[in-house]
């Protein structure tokens, strides 16, 4: 009980001392908030993108089979599907047709996918919201596509895709097989890749081995592997950005050290007085600890909240171009808000821990001041 | 009772500007007395008070406070002795600006972890004793010189110490306030406090409240004048 | 090396803790060589003031150490998705030979640093620094361990190779990387249960005996170590299946996941606190005889015993309630 009361008393003095030197501490807090804001924004956005990707991939088939020729992607003969379909454990095989289309007039990349269930008649398409917005075309509008022989194909928008996760569906164009083959002059009997559904996920590796054994020019890719790659790539990106921001962090630490070392005459007098009237060195250290805690807590929360607003409510307006890549089709996507303890802990270790460490020695110097100094001012 | 034996305090030991601020002082400070140290500036009064008040350790010699040898105690224990046994009144009042008078009075008791309400009660009583309770809620910048002095005295008494140490307490006070100060000290003495004052102000030195006047020069005691 | 933010944070944190300990050890050596309690000289005063710096540094380092222990486990757990066959921390740690040494060293160092702080606390309360030499000697033992931990953890992180699809042909699935401590998991539940409840009961009774009468500090500390071991074994072989509701799932790490309401953190926190505090009772016993510590140490030991008893009781309560409310019934038990 006395322990808690003592902490409260000392915390009181610490807060009072912080508030008395608003100017000095404010600049520190601003720098602190800025660093935390930067780092947590990076972590928020990469994590959100990662989750977005895995969210989309959840519905993809367990395994995709591609064909490689000279180490590059090639069209797969649809006949392969029959061979694979006979492997034990494979539930279904289907051929997919998809690809990218560069719209030179608008400078945008679309993802074209053949979807036989949704698009039943040739000549009509469904588009993602990004595409619709970009072309300012709504339902029943037509979009000209330039085929690879130079002729134009006019396709009518039947509807705009409802978007659960806009980041992924924004650039989609769903079309019929006939239109797709005409657009790219893709021969009959070939597909972009094959997708498998299997009965038991545990058998994926055996099935993959069988596929390679039967069709040596193919490459099976499992969904888990795609997820893993996404995970690694996104983590890697955010790690890289954090390392880049290490400079900002160092600058902040130097500032913190400097602020903690450069005591004003008045502050020195106050500490001297506290020691003279019977505060121990450890009490002053405790006070300094609480001061640091208060500064850290305020900055930490402010920084995280600002970053949260920045990423999830203003759509990462500050570094959208840097992190997301190539398409111009994402003007106002919304990421699904998400935060967890690991974020907080990681940020804590990247900011609060170095801050605390940087202020230990200056605080100690302050706390071990001679108590009689106050008699000589 | 404080007893010091053959105390030396050397500054910048081992360097060319080595200087003995206190040079072989032995003294016994009796309880329930007012002792005044008188001497020119630089004679070592402040240094001697800070040694007597357990703020600094002497370079050599022995100190006993109430029969307990404290010369080689770690700082932490000196702080504890200071907190519970000594009240300090400084020349510059050394009140912490931005805090109220009441908080300033409570500060010496914060590390004890005593309940806030009982601390407050005691502080208000002390301010009341010196007729400044109406200023309890004001910030110390707003106090007049006399009020600040009395808040300082209240702070010195917060932990109910046996000893009160005052260094040049009347330097910033006019004659009337200085007399008032000595009256307060006399009151404290009758309550059983032992009071040590360093001063060369005649109002203090010639006050009838003083029991013993110790003259100092160049870090040594030159005269001891027992008036009782 | 995986460039994950948490890995960067952990590495930076460990590096910082190592630096703090190196700095402390450096000044510890100076204190060991120049300490002279009787002297009132300026240099002795400076040394005494340094002790505050070292206490603060080690206390902070321990705080960081504890926090990062849990961040470490959590991160390793999260990373399991990156490695083929890994389902939780158990798999991720096995990715290279440094994983398990890193975590074991982390736990040992946390406990050792805790012991140091207890000794330091007692020493600071005495007026003549009776343990100063022992204390700084011990610091010189802890320091290399912490540095080793940082190095091993660094080696572990450096050795993590994420699987990238383009680099392989997708056949890289290994069935599973299970089999860790399978021997432990395969222990028969009934004897383990008896050992677990037996040691717990014995330790808590010895603790209460010590708390009330002050007798048998070594007995308590020794039982405490057995109880901690029993806890780990019981967690793997007996308790965790109830939380997973699957008799074959024995992992000591999966219980840290959100799926199981992070109950693992409750287990490991109580276990760590109980073991460190209980061990502290034994660590402090040899110094009971020191004149200036005669009153301080028994009091501190009583507090530690209480913390230990409460922590272990917390462990048992969480375990038993998990077993009672689980849908799983292990046959023959
Ligand atoms: N920290 C210090 N370092 C060096 N010299 C000091 C220090 N403190 C005091 N002195 C010297 O010690 C002498 C005595 O000072 P002091 O005790 O303040 O005298 P008084 O209070 O009687 O004016 C002075 O000459 C002063 O310069
Ligand atoms: Mg003076």
Q: Which of B42, B90, B169, B205 to mutate to test the pocket of ligand 1 (most atoms within 8 A of CB)?
A: B42
Angle A67-A70-A75 (CA atoms, 0-180°, nearest 5)? 30
Confidence at residue C20, expressed as pLDDT on a 0 to 100 scale: 95
C-alpha of residue B45 to centroid of ligand 1, in Å: 8
* Structure confidence by residue, pLDDT tens digits, A38-76: 888 888 888 887 777 777 666 677 788 888 888 788 888
The radius of gyration of chain B's CA atoms, rounded to the nearest angstrom, is 18
* CA-closest residue to ligand 1 atom 16: B44
pLDDT reported for residue C180: 43
Best mutation target among B44, B46, B94 (most A Cβ atoms within 10 Å) is B94
Query: Are residues A227 and C81, on separate chains, in Cβ contact within 8 Å?
Result: yes
Q: State the pLDDT at residue A360.
A: 93
- Which segments of chain B have a pLDDT < 70? none
Q: Is C127–B73 a contact, with Cβ atoms under 8 angstroms apart?
A: yes
Nearest ligand 1 atom, CA A376: 18
Which ranges in B21-139 belong to alpha helices (H)?
45-52, 75-85, 101-106, 116-129
The SS3 assignment for A127 reads strand
Ligand 1 neighbourhood includes B156 CB (under 6 angstroms): no
Residue of C nearest to A54 (CA): C81
Characterize the bridge pairing of strands B220-226 and B60-65. Answer: unpaired
The predicted structure's pLDDT at residue A125: 86
Nearest-CB residue to B88 (from A12, A277, A279): A277
Question: What is the 8-class DSSP label of residue B126?
Answer: H
Look at residue C333 in the predicted model and tell me its pLDDT.
Answer: 43
- Give CA–CA dist A278/B76, Å, rounded: 9
- pLDDT confidence of residue C129: 87
User: How close C26 comes to chain B (CA, Å)?
Assistant: 22
Nearest-Cα distance to chain A for C89, in Å, is 15
What gap in Å lies between CA A363 and CA C53, rounded to an integer? Answer: 9
B104/chain C closest Cα distance in angstroms: 27
Q: Which residues of chain C have pLDDT under 50?
A: 164-180, 332-333
Q: Residue C317: what pLDDT?
A: 94
Q: Is residue B110 within 8 angstroms of chain A, CB to CB?
A: yes
The reported pLDDT for the residue numbered A85 is 85
A294 Cβ contact partners less than 8 Å away, ≥ 6 residues apart: A11, A14, A15, A18
CA quadruple A180, A186, A191, A193: dihedral sign:
negative
Ligand showing the shortest atom-to-Cα distance for residue B43: 1
Query: What pLDDT sits at residue A327?
Result: 42
Contact criterion met (CB < 8 Å) for C170 and A225: yes
Measured between CB atoms, which of C3, C13, C64 is closest to A235?
A: C3
Q: Which residue of C has its CA nearest to A205?
A: C173
| N-terminal to C-terminal alpha carbon distance within chain A | 37
Q: Averaged over A255-283, what is the pLDDT?
A: 90
**Is residue A29 over pLDDT 50?**
yes
pLDDT over threshold 70, residue A145: yes
Chain segment A150-195, per-residue pLDDT in tens = 888 888 888 887 765 555 567 778 888 888 888 888 888 899 888 8
Say yes or no: CB of residue B85 within 6 Å of ligand 1: no
Q: Could you write out the three-class secondary structure of chain C?
A: CCCCHHHHHHHHHHHHHHHHHHHHHHHHHHHHHHCCCCCCCHHHHHHHHHHHHHHHHHHHHHHHHHHHHHHHHHHHHHHHHHCCCCCCHHHHHCCCCCHHHHHHHHHHHHHHHHHHHHHHHHHHHCCCCCCHHHHHHHHHHHHHHHHHHHHHHHHHHHCCCCCCHHHCCCCCCCCCCCCCCHHHHCCCHHHHHHHHHHHHHHHHHHHHHHHHHCCCHHHHHHHHHHHHHHHHHHHHHHHHHHHHCCCCCCCCCHHHCHHHCCHHHHHHHHHHHHHHHHHHHHHHHHHCCCHHHCCHHHHHHHHHHHHHHHHHHHHHHHHHHHHHHCCCCCCCC
Q: Ligand 1: distance of its center to the CA of B159 in Å? A: 29
Higher-pLDDT residue of A228 and B185 is B185
List domains and CATH numbers for chain A.
3-57+232-376 (no CATH), 63-221 (2.40.40.20)
Residue A352 scores a pLDDT above 80 = yes
- B73 contacts C40? CB cut-off 8 A: no
Task: For residues A206-231, give the mean pLDDT.
Answer: 80
Our CA angle for C186, C189, C190, nearest 5°, is 145
What pLDDT was estimated at residue C330?
58
Q: Is C45 on the interface with B (CB under 8 A)?
A: yes
Q: Is the pLDDT of residue A107 over 80?
A: no
Pairing relation of β-strands A152-160 and A124-127? parallel
Contact C124, C3 (CB under 8 A): no
By most ligand atoms within 8 Å of CB, the mutation choice from B25, B44, B217 for ligand 1 is B44
Position of tokens 């320091």? C143
pLDDT top residue among C164 and A317: A317
For position A169, what pLDDT does the model report? 66
pLDDT at residue C258 in the model: 76
Interface test with A, best of C5, C16, C164 (most A CBs within 10 A): C5
Runs of H (alpha helix) within B20-171: 45-52, 75-85, 101-106, 116-129, 145-157
Residue A328 pLDDT class (50, 70, 90 cuts): very low
Give pLDDT, residue B36: 95
pLDDT of residue C332: 44
Write down the pLDDT at residue B137.
92
Q: Which of A149, A147, A109 is nearest to A128 (CA)?
A: A109
Could you report the per-residue pLDDT of A113-125, keeping only the tens digit for each?
888 777 778 888 8
- Please give the residue that has the higher pLDDT: either A255 or A240: A255
**pLDDT for the residue numbered A341:** 79
**Which of B41, B43, B47, B59 for a ligand 1 pocket mutation test, highest count of atoms within 8 Å of Cβ?**
B47
Closest-CA residue in chain B for A13? B107
Domains of chain C: which residue ranges? 1-167, 168-333
Chain A residues within an 8 Å CB radius of C75 = 342
Q: Which chains touch B (3 or more CB pairs under 8 A)?
A: A, C
């Amino acid at each position: 009980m006395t322990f808690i009361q003592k902490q409260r008393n000392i915390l009181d003095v610490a807060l009072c001392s912080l508030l008395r030197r608003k100017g000095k501490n404010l600049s520190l807090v601003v720098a602190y908030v800025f660093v935390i804001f930067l780092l947590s924004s990076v972590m928020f956005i990469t994590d959100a993108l990662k989750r977005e990707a895995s969210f989309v991939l959840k519905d993809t088939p367990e395994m995709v089979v591609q064909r490689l020729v000279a180490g590059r992607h090639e069209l797969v003969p649809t006949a392969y599907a029959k061979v694979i379909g006979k492997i034990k454990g494979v539930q279904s095989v289907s051929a997919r047709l998809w690809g990218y289309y560069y719209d030179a007039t608008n400078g945008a990349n679309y993802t074209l996918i053949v979807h036989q269930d949704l698009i039943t008649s040739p000549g009509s398409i469904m588009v993602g919201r990004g595409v619709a917005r970009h072309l300012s075309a709504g339902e029943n509008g037509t979009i000209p596509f330039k085929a690879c022989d130079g002729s134009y194909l006019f396709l009518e928008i039947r509807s705009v895709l409802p978007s659960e996760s806009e980041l992924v569906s924004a650039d989609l164009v769903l079309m019929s097989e006939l239109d797709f083959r005409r657009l790219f002059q893709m021969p009959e009997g070939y597909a972009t890749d094959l997708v498998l559904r299997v009965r038991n996920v545990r058998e994926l590796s055996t099935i993959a081995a069988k596929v390679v054994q039967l069709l040596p020019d193919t490459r099976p890719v499992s969904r888990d592997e795609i997820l893993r790659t996404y995970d690694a790539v996104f983590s890697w990106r955010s790690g890289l950005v954090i390392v880049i921001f290490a400079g900002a962090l160092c600058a902040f630490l130097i500032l913190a050290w400097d602020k903690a070392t450069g005591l004003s005459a008045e502050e020195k007098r106050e500490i001297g007085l506290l020691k003279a009237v019977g505060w121990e060195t450890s009490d002053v250290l405790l006070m300094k600890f609480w001061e640091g805690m208060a500064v850290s807590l305020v900055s930490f929360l402010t920084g995280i909240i600002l970053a949260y607003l920045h990423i999830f409510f203003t759509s990462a307006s500050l570094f959208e171009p840097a992190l997301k890549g190539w398409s111009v089709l994402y003007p106002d996507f919304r990421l699904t808000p998400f935060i967890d303890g690991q974020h907080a802990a990681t940020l804590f270790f990247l900011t609060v821990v170095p801050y605390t460490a940087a202020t230990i020695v200056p605080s100690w110097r302050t706390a071990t001041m001679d108590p009689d100094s106050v008699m000589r001012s | 009772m404080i007893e010091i034996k053959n105390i030396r305090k050397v500054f910048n030991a081992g360097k060319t500007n080595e200087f003995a601020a206190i040079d072989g002082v032995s003294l016994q400070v009796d309880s329930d007395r007012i002792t005044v140290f008188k001497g020119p500036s630089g004679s070592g009064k402040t240094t001697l008070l800070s040694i007597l008040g357990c703020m600094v350790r002497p370079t050599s010699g022995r100190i006993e406070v109430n029969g307990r040898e404290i010369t080689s105690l770690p700082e932490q224990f000196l702080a504890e002795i200071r907190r519970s046994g000594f009240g300090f009144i400084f020349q510059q009042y050394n009140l912490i600006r931005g805090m109220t008078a009441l908080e300033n009075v409570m500060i010496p008791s914060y590390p004890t972890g005593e309940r806030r309400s009982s601390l407050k009660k005691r502080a208000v009583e002390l301010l009341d004793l010196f007729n400044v309770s109406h200023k309890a809620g004001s910030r110390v910048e707003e106090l007049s010189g006399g009020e600040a002095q009395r808040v300082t005295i209240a702070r010195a008494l917060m932990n109910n110490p046996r000893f009160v140490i005052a260094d040049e307490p009347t330097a910033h006070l006019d004659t009337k306030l200085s007399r008032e100060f000595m009256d307060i000290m006399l009151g404290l003495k009758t309550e059983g406090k032992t009071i040590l004052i360093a001063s060369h102000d005649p109002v203090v030195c010639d006050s009838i409240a003083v029991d013993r006047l110790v003259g100092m020069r160049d870090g040594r005691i030159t005269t001891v004048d027992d008036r009782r | 090396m995986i460039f994950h933010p948490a890995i960067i944070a952990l590495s930076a944190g460990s590096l910082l803790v190592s630096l703090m300990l190196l700095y402390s050890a450096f000044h510890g050596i100076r204190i060991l060589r120049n300490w002279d309690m009787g002297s009132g000289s300026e240099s002795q005063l400076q040394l005494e003031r340094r002790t505050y710096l070292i206490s603060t540094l080690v206390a902070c380092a321990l705080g960081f150490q504890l926090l990062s222990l849990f961040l470490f486990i959590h991160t390793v757990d999260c990373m399991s998705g990156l490695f083929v066959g890994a389902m939780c921390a158990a798999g991720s740690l096995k990715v290279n030979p440094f994983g398990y040494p890193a975590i074991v060293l982390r736990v040992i160092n946390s406990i050792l640093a805790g012991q140091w702080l207890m000794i330091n606390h007692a020493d600071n309360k005495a007026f003549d620094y009776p343990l100063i030499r022992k204390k700084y000697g011990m610091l010189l033992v802890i320091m290399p361990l912490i540095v080793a931990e940082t190095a091993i953890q660094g080696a572990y992180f450096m050795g993590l190779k994420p699987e990238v699809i383009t680099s392989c042909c997708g056949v890289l699935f290994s069935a599973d990387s299970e089999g860790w401590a399978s021997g432990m998991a395969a222990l028969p539940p009934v004897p383990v249960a008896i050992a677990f409840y037996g040691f717990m009961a014995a330790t808590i009774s010895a603790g209460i005996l010590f708390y009330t009468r002050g007798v048998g500090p070594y007995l308590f500390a020794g039982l405490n170590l057995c109880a901690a071991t029993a806890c780990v074994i019981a967690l793997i072989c007996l308790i965790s299946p109830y939380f997973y509701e699957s008799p074959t799932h024995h992992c000591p790490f999966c219980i840290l996941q959100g799926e199981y309401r992070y109950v693992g953190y409750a287990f490991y926190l109580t276990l760590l606190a109980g073991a460190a505090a209980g061990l502290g009772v034994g660590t402090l016993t040899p110094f009971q005889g020191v004149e200036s510590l005669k009153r301080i140490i028994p009091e501190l030991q009583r507090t530690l015993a209480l913390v230990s008893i409460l922590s272990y009781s917390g462990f048992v309560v969480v375990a038993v309630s998990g077993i009672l409310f689980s849908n799983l019934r292990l046959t023959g038990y």
